[in-house]
Each structure stands twice: as C-alpha cells, then as structure tokens.
Amino acid sequence: MLRQLLILLCLACATNTIAQQNTAPSSKTTEKQIDYKEMGAPMPPLRILLYKDTSTKKANNTAETEHLSRRQRHEEEMKEQKKQEDRYLTEDDLNNGANLFVMMFNPTCSHCQDETAIIKTNIALFHKTQLVLIANPQMKQYLPDFVNLLHVLDYPSMHVGIDSTGFIDKVFLFQMLPQINIYNHNRKLIKTYNGEVAIDSLRKYIE
C-alpha cells in the first residue's frame, strides 16, 4: 500500500513539473524584438542587388552580334542580365571604419532625385563615408532612367541597387521619401532624415 502511494506521489510530481514547463514562456517569445528604427539600434542585414549599366557593352557589341540569330541574341542578353543580377553588395563590403549613409528612395520620386543631386554636388566631402541608395524590388525597372539622369555610377562612394533582405521593411518610417539612415562605424543608427535634407545638416556626419 505504501509503495503504491509513493508511486502515485511521484507521478503527481512529474505531471506538475511537465505542466509548469508547458505553461512557462519560452525564451524565444520573451526575447525582446529589435526595433531597427530606434536610435542606437544595430543596422539590420544589408544585401543589395547592385545596378550595373551594360549599355556601353551592348553598344560595342552591336556589330559583332548583327549576324546572330534572334535566339542567339536573346541568349547573349540573358547572360549579360545574369551577370548584373549576380552582383551583390553587403555590409561586409562597406566595413571601412566610417559612417555609412543608407538612402531609401523611389527612382521616380522628384524629392529623391533632388536629394541625390545635392549629395552628388557635394560628393567631394565624402572621403570615407559611403552612400548606399536602396530601392524596393518593384522599382527595379525604373533604375536605368534614374541612373542615366543623375550619373550616380560615376562616383565610387555611391552604390545603387535593389533591396534583397527586407532592409526597407525593417527601418522605413512610412514618412516622406527619401529616408536617409546614418550608421556609425559600429553600424549603430545615429540619425534618420525624411524628405529633402540640406547638405549643412548632413555635413557633420560625413567623414
């Protein structure tokens, strides 16, 4: 009889322990979610599909490809497109110990074009600081017009491309475009601007 009581007591204790484990919140649910929009927040993973202008290469190859069939020309164009799509830029490529400007923009937005022109006019200030212009994937088809209008590829410190990691979704404040996020050398958010910004406001963050 005593043995049966001991067995029942052990079973009751075991059942209570399992119940407590099932009701206790997991570490995953209690762990605080990172708000990438807060000052001091780390920069979320950044990986952009770089825009690369291949118009010159295509123009140079026009005479060479005139004799090719339509199918062959299509295959050549697809190869060039594949080369372009394979060129990515990550935060590791931008890790140079200086502040980093990440500008979220719409290629068709006049404010974004004007802000890019302001920065381009003062690009000599950007000795170490690099600027990444990142657009939503749906805007990819409008990038050529933007690039041709502002000639941003002429400046090594400026990188233009398409978001491929959901970076914009994590940091965009849903206010005016463009939005410029400034990260320090440790890639912590130190300033956010929305809309057109005067170069005097940006100057103190440029290295």
Query: What digits encode the pLDDT tens for the residues 105-122?
Result: 999 999 999 999 999 999
- Tell me how far apart the alpha carbons of residues 47 and 32 are, in angstroms, rounded to a whole number: 24
Structure confidence at residue 87 (pLDDT): 87
Q: Based on the number of CB atoms within 10 Å of its own CB, is 158 exposed (0-12), middle (13-18) or buried (19 or more)? A: buried
C-alpha span between 179 and 174 (Å, rounded): 9
In the three-class reduction of DSSP (H, G, I as helix; E, B as strand; rest coil), residue 142 is classed as: helix
Q: Please provide residue 202's backbone torsions phi and psi, each rounded to the nearest 5 degrees.
A: -80, -25
DSSP letter at 43 equals P
How confident is the model over 14-22, as a mean pLDDT?
Answer: 46
pLDDT for 79: 65
pLDDT score recorded for residue 10: 45
CATH class of 88-203: alpha beta
